Structure 1
Amino acid sequence: MRLKPPFPFSVVIRNVFVDYDNTLHDSDSKFIAQFEAPASKLGLTGRELWRLYLFEVHRDIVHRWYPEKHDDREFHCRLIFQKLGKPYSEGLALQLISAFERAMEECWRNPTFFPETFLFLEEVSKRYRVCLATSENALQKASSLERMGGRKYFACVLGDHNIGIRKTEKEYYLRALELAEARAEESVMVGDSTTHDIQPASEVGMKTIWVNRRGEVFSGKRDCEVRDLKEALRCLDHHLF
């Protein structure tokens, strides 16, 4: 666990905003499984195709150069074929898009939560106001967590249904704070994505805990870097004043 830098001693944390995909829920596993069939036709594994889609295409190209294409799956497919040096196949692209949509639905219909997810939610909900901060299917994801956990965890649920701004934008977090009636300096964002969770939350003055399960390298600002939610709990405990 890395603290960079420690929270100021004058800060009292009252609100914990937490991401869903790959923070509370193992969403990667759903996409890898669904991508196996189209990947085999491209000479790849499901894991290799998902990594190509997420990192080399979605984050490195679309986020940086074509943000207006964020939800354009067909555009993503064209970039994948270009990256692989293969002629574009409409049929295979449609298969890949269908696999993506099935994986999205699996993330809340048939969830696979990380082993420490419910311990984390149980503990933080005793001490803080907890808000789920995600994008698509936010209400369904919250319902899935609370159904499996057997109790209510979230004071508010934030996503496309009430924010409608991409999580990569700081305006998402300004609106999230407004809806949660929370002050940025009293709030922590816990998430796995530097582009969706850590950077934009930091920009509006929130504290951040980066759940770096993949062992990625990130030189930007974060207040705490952890490997899982157990370490995230210890990070929060360290800053209980």
Structure 2
Amino acid sequence: MIKGIGFDLQFTIVTLEHFTLERWFRLFDAGFIKVKEYLRALGIEFNQKKLKRTFRRIRNKYFAITITEDQQYFTEEILRDTFSKLNITLTSNDFMKCVQLYHSMEIPAWKSLPNAQKTLETLSKNYKLALITNASEYLTHEILQLQKLDDYFHFIFTKARKPRPPAFQQFKEAMHARFDELVMVGDDISADIEPAVKLGMKTIHLYRGYEYLQHHAHIQIKPDKKITRLEDVITAVEELETEQ
């Protein structure tokens, strides 16, 4: 018997149209322009070229670590390191405003996958649903609210640092279930599917036609079900129920 279903967020429930890393980073860069404007409005003096250069160097450093070590870093860490290097001191409120501005162009670009609302509504009638995402609490909340998806999840785990196990353990404890009574749905074979398989969960891989990182294509992990449309999760879950 399945007691709970966990979902990834980005590229599983919501997506960026015509996605490329370059387009995604352009959204971040547009947000960073707003950060610089905010710093100026606060009366903070800085060398614009040096700030941009320092920020990109630190962001690229963290992104490289993400690729090689599957370790997630967040905007707060990147901006904090950038400001520290340039001796820019902000109050907690002003710093969080910078984080929000950095994501301000990205958030409205995320759109629900076709039939996302209907799929989640149908599943939530029979199962407890959880969201397990590496995104920050702020980013997750804003995307869910904007796309009207915030009413379907019983539990939301942000900054999950998948593929590391703690968030999956939290999911298990929240559901009061064994791992083999839980299902994980995600698009990332490394961050979503592989750790869930190793823990003994049922898995549904939403295959988008490519892997986010090239070396993930060589991971030899077989999900219980593989789908190409989010709405097919309903049938996949029904099949998993009958196969138990």
Distance 2:137 2:188 in 1: 17
Match of 1:211 among 206, 212, 232: 206
Tell me the amino acid that sits aligned with residue 118 of structure 1. Q
Asked which structure has the greater CA Rg, the reply is 2
Match of 2:24 among 26, 31, 39: 31
**Contact 1:129/1:154, CA 8 A, preserved across alignment:** yes
Q: Secondary structure at the match of 2:204?
A: strand
**Contact 1:132/1:142, CA 8 A, preserved across alignment:** no
Query: Alpha carbon RMSD of aligned pairs, Å?
Result: 4.1
**In structure 2, what is the equivalent of residue 50 of structure 1?**
none
1:32-51 alignment runs, 5 A limit: 34=27
**Structure 2 vs 1, CA of residues 182 and 212 (structure 1 numbering), >3 Å: closer, same or farther?**
same
Distance 2:208 2:226 in 1: 10
**In structure 1, what is the equivalent of residue 151 of structure 2?**
152
**In structure 1, what is the equivalent of residue 192 of structure 2?**
197
**In structure 2, what is the equivalent of residue 236 of structure 1?**
237
- Measure how far apart 1:60 and its partner are: 4.2
**Contact 2:117/2:149, CA 8 A, preserved across alignment:** no
1:101-112 alignment runs, 5 A limit: 104-106=103-105, 108-109=107-108, 111-112=110-111
1:41-120 alignment runs, 5 A limit: 57=64, 60-63=67-70, 67=71, 70-71=73-74, 104-106=103-105, 108-109=107-108, 111-120=110-119
**Structure 2 vs 1, CA of residues 108 and 178 (structure 1 numbering), >3 Å: closer, same or farther?**
farther
Distance 2:169 2:149 in 1: 31
Distance 2:149 2:221 in 1: 37
Distance 1:169 1:226 in 2: 24
**Contact 2:112/2:147, CA 8 A, preserved across alignment:** no
**Structure 2 vs 1, CA of residues 194 and 150 (structure 1 numbering), >3 Å: closer, same or farther?**
closer
Distance 1:101 1:151 in 2: 19
Q: Secondary structure at the match of 2:123?
A: helix
- Measure how far apart 1:142 and its partner are: 4.9
Q: Secondary structure at the match of 2:241?
A: coil
**Contact 2:27/2:105, CA 8 A, preserved across alignment:** no
Q: Secondary structure at the match of 2:125?
A: helix
**In structure 2, what is the equivalent of residue 129 of structure 1?**
128
**Contact 1:189/1:206, CA 8 A, preserved across alignment:** yes
**Structure 2 vs 1, CA of residues 104 and 196 (structure 1 numbering), >3 Å: closer, same or farther?**
farther
- Measure how far apart 1:188 and its partner are: 0.2
Aligned residues with identical type, % of pairs: 23
- Measure how far apart 1:231 and its partner are: 2.2
Listed as ranges, the gaps of 5+ residues in structure 2 are 31-59, 80-98, 212-216
**In structure 1, what is the equivalent of residue 2 of structure 2?**
13
**Structure 2 vs 1, CA of residues 235 and 142 (structure 1 numbering), >3 Å: closer, same or farther?**
farther
Aligned residue pair count: 191
Give the TM-score normalised by the residue count of structure 1.
0.62
**In structure 2, what is the equivalent of residue 171 of structure 1?**
166
Distance 2:102 2:115 in 1: 22
Q: Secondary structure at the match of 1:175?
A: helix
**Structure 2 vs 1, CA of residues 235 and 33 (structure 1 numbering), >3 Å: closer, same or farther?**
farther
**Contact 1:177/1:184, CA 8 A, preserved across alignment:** yes
Listed as ranges, the gaps of 5+ residues in structure 1 are 1-11, 38-52, 75-99
- Measure how far apart 1:176 and its partner are: 2.3
Tell me the amino acid that sits aligned with residue 4 of structure 2. N
Q: Secondary structure at the match of 2:111?
A: coil
**Contact 2:121/2:152, CA 8 A, preserved across alignment:** yes
